[in-house]
């Protein structure tokens, strides 16, 4: 359902803000402005979430699915970047990554933030289906989310593996 409570200027401003944040933050990450592995993980997580919020905002604004699709496709590389930076954490800090990767078992995944990760994931996967993204891309998204067999919705083959949402 598209958001009809906000006016055109609201969405246009928000999209501009997301675009600027994504561009400036990615440039800073690429330039090496984040010196520690954990800061690169934190900023990569922020980029991933911003990319989802940009797509959700465009969808809520009423952007056609055809125009929205490239923005939805652009989410996966941000998530892959997050995994790359998390893989570079020192062995002693690898447990840190579960705070943003684990969706189930809320208590073990830092409580209420867990629901936000789940919502972001559902937005992302729903937009993939809404934009009729090719199944191999959806499979890559599901694989990086890693909840198959752990979650009844995310592990439901008819929903995300070629069925209907």
Q: What is the pLDDT of residues 137-155, one digit of tens each?
A: 998 998 898 766 666 666 5
Residue range 2-12, pLDDT digits in tens: 777 888 899 99
Q: What is the pLDDT of residue 150?
A: 65
**More confident of the two residues 45 and 159:** 45
Task: Yes or no: say if 126 and 133 are a contact pair by the CB < 8 Å rule.
Answer: no
Residue 11: Cβ-neighbour burial (10 angstroms; 0-12, 13-18, 19+): middle
Residue range 75-112, pLDDT digits in tens: 999 999 999 999 999 999 888 887 777 766 544 445 55
Q: What are 78's two structure tokens? A: 């941000």
How many CA atoms are closer than 13 Å to the CA of 11, on its beta-carbon side?
16
Q: What are 144's two structure tokens? A: 């990086």
Q: What is the pLDDT of residue 2?
A: 72
- Binning pLDDT at 50, 70 and 90, where does residue 39 land? very high
Output the CA angle 2-3-9, nearest 5 degrees. Answer: 120
Evaluate if residue 46 carries a pLDDT over 80. yes
Mean pLDDT for the chain overall? 85
Contacts of 12 (CB under 8 A, 6+ apart): 61
């Amino acid at each position: 359902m598209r958001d009809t409570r906000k006016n055109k200027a609201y969405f246009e401003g928000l999209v501009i803000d997301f675009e600027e944040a994504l561009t400036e933050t990615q440039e800073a990450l690429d330039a090496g402005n984040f010196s520690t592995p954990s800061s690169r993980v934190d900023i990569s997580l922020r980029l991933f979430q911003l990319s989802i919020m940009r797509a959700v905002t465009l969808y809520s604004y009423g952007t056609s699915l055809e125009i929205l699709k490239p923005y939805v496709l652009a989410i996966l590389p941000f998530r892959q970047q997050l995994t790359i930076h998390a893989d570079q954490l020192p062995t002693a800090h690898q447990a840190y990554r579960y705070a943003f990767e684990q969706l189930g078992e809320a208590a073990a995944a830092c409580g209420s933030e867990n629901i936000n990760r789940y919502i972001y994931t559902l937005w992302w996967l729903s937009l993939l289906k809404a934009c009729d993204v090719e199944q191999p891309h959806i499979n890559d998204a599901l694989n990086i989310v890693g909840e198959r067999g752990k979650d009844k919705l995310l592990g439901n083959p008819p929903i995300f593996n070629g069925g209907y949402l």
